[in-house]
Structure 1
């Protein structure tokens, strides 16, 4: 097609994809083209504005490393991550709800025994977690793999600290025969997502704050069940209703209890105040 104009170009692009052999790819790309073209027409996008948008996306990619994923951060702050979670992980009433994965999970966390300390020397008040992993019908899920990761008392994950020689605030556990999971960590605090890159520039330009409410991350995998990626949030956090990545669900607010110095759940004597969290995770069965 020659002499393409703003009224005919969308159909021309769609026509070029008419021979795409992958039906799902064709569906996705066709919808993407239609919506992008409609967006450009709706806002009357200028060439200078689109050039600035390309620069923004280029900078987003350049900010990514093996320890930082700026595109995930962008997806999170635009609500796209949570939208895809909500669409793809609708749960039964009994099952624990999913939320965003976040940009700070890394593979290869140390395998620890139940009861061990995941902090690895990270700063923070002691937190003792005692959880269960069960199926929708109440059956304990034994030997489930549970990835746990959290920020320290200053709001940083270990991958944000260049001077660390070993992981901090992350580990992988296996539940026992009763589906029980227990370990020691640090009390989570609210923290700002990184703002030294393009996402931070976008938040500042749109007058949005970068704060996430205090939480601990969990990823639970077991044969016969859907993988659960979720958080447990502190109920006293001021950012629960304005999470920068839209990830809070009321059912994921846990009961973090504070205790004076004394004997902790693992029998150790704590010379300073400590905290406990009890939480029950319920997995959805895998589709047949």
Structure 2
């Protein structure tokens, strides 16, 4: 019934999913602070994955990654692809504290609220995710206000130096990274002739363990899922979750990530 209603309101269906049409530009939904695209599953009141593109990317480019988008839709999740703000002539995210530009936390909150009104997505079940610069944004939003979204799932991105001294908690975060990533190496790298320095991923995990009040630095468990080598930390603050998945590839959203992330999210209490 819901799918037929949305079709009548102007959705273009492909199989059992729909790319929403908002206003005068097909596929683009505009809010006061920005724009997003969204694809919907054939279910009522679905949970939502908000996935932020990397530096120079677009929402259209995000949705072209069908190896990521289709598994999420098939699992009953709506997929939102927000548009970054302009930085140095390209779309990115205003993630670093103190930079001038759009209030990204306000924009993303506005976009989720807009999607809840237009398309009946569940604003209480939202996973904030992103790749590269989008993952940088995930890290800083999770650090400042972990309660804004129900979970965080960055891919191939973390903090920049200087690392935050502290983060708010508890947070539910699942970080995925490539062993051979040379764009955002695990140890970080220097950019802009020394003006910027990407942070160390393992130092970031330490910050999350502190925020989550974990009793030990040692991982609580290890597992493998296909190509992914995983470790998690338990014995931490109530309602917290922290997991790290390493895969053998480079700077990419790896195949298999979507299902693995959803399995993790749906295994969390209250999800």
- TM bin, normalised by shorter chain, reads under 0.3
TM-score under structure 2 length normalisation: 0.27
Greater Rg by CA? 1
Answer 1 or 2: higher relative contact order, Cα 8 Å, separation at least 6. Answer: 1
